[in-house]
Chain A
Amino acid sequence: MEIKLLTEHYDKKEFRFIEGYKKLGGYETLKKAFSLKPEEIINEVKASGLRGRGGAGFPTGVKWSFLPQNGEKRYLLCNADEGEPGTFKDRLMMERAPHQLIEGMIISAYAINSPKSYIYVRGEYNYPIKVLEKALQEAYDAGYLGKNILGSGFDHDMDIYRGAGAYICGEETGMISSLEGKKGQPKLKPPFPAIKGYLGQPTIVNNVETLAAVKYIIRDGAEAYRKYGTEKSAGTKLFSVSGNVNKPGTYEVPLGYPLMDLINNECGGMKNGAKLKAVIPGGSSAPILTAEEVQKTTMDYECLAQMGSMLGSGAVIVMDDSNCMVDMLKVTLHFYHHESCGQCTPCREGTGWIHKIVSSIVNGEGRLQDIDLLEKIAQQMMGRTICALSDAAAMPTLGFITKFKDEFEFFVREGRSKVKEVRAHA
Chain B
Amino acid sequence: MFKLSDEGINFVKKELARYETKRSAIIPCLYRVQKENDGWVSPESVSYLSELMELPEAWINEVLNFYTMFNKKPVGKLHVQVCNNISCCMLGARELTDHLCKTFNVKPEEISEDGKITISKVECLGSCDTAPMMQINDDYHENLTPGSAEKIIKGMLNGN
Contacts and interface: CB of A to CB of B under 8 A. Distances in A.
A331 B27 contact: no
Contacts of A258: none
A250 B129 CA distance: 8
Given A123-B69, A162-B28, A339-B123, A86 B18 contact: no
Interface in B19-71: 19-28, 30-31, 59, 62-63, 66-70
B68 to A, nearest CB: 4
Contact of B68 (A86, A164, A249): A164
Residue from the set A242, A248, A315 with the largest chain B CB neighbour count within 10 Å: A242
A10 to B, nearest CB: 14
A88 B129 contact: yes
Given A83-B124, A124-B135, A244-B90, A425 B98 contact: yes
A85 B87 contact: yes
Contact of A243 (B70, B87, B125, B138): B87
B86 A317 contact: yes
Nearest to B125: A124
Most buried by A among B86, B90, B91: B86
A146 interface: no
A184 B21 contact: no
A242 B126 contact: no
B127 A85 contact: no
B128 A83 contact: no
Contacts, number: 145
Contacts of A243: 87, 90-91, 128
Contacts of B66: 166, 183-184, 341
B108 interface: yes
A181 interface: yes
A179 interface: yes
Contact of A182 (B62, B108, B139): B62
A228 interface: no
B107 interface: yes
Interface string A79-111: 000111111101100000000000000000000
Residue among A88, A240, A280 with most chain B CB within 10 A? A88
B140 interface: yes
Contacts of A284: 85-86, 124
B97 A126 contact: no
Size band of the B side of the interface?
A: 35 or more
A122 interface: yes
Given A284-B86, A335-B86, A335-B124, A425 B97 contact: yes
A166 B67 contact: yes
Nearest to B65: A183
A426 B31 CA distance: 29
B20 to A, nearest CB: 6
B4 interface: no
Contact of B24 (A84, A87, A124, A179): A179
Interface in A27-80: none
Nearest to B28: A162
Nearest to A183: B66
B129 A85 contact: no
B131 interface: yes
A180 B23 contact: yes
A181 B27 contact: yes
Contacts of B107: 426
B126 A91 contact: yes
Nearest to A396: B86
Contacts of A180: 21, 23-24
Contact of A426 (B20, B98, B131, B135): B98
A19 to B, nearest CB: 27
A221 interface: no
A184 B67 CA distance: 8
A280 B85 CA distance: 14
B101 interface: yes
A184 B69 CA distance: 13
B151 to A, nearest CB: 22
Nearest to B107: A426
Interface in A229-253: 240-244, 248-250
| Closest 8 pairs (CB-CB, A-B) | A181-B23, A164-B67, A242-B128, A165-B69, A165-B68, A248-B129, A85-B124, A183-B66
Given A127-B140, A181-B59, 12 more contacts: A85-B123, A86-B86, A162-B28, A164-B67, A165-B68, A181-B23, A184-B66, A241-B129, A243-B91, A248-B129, A328-B90, A331-B86
12 contacts: A86-B128, A122-B126, A167-B123, A180-B24, A181-B21, A183-B62, A199-B20, A248-B130, A317-B87, A317-B90, A328-B90, A335-B86
Interface of B: 18-28, 30-31, 59, 62-63, 66-70, 84-87, 89-91, 94, 97-98, 101, 107-108, 123-131, 135, 138-140
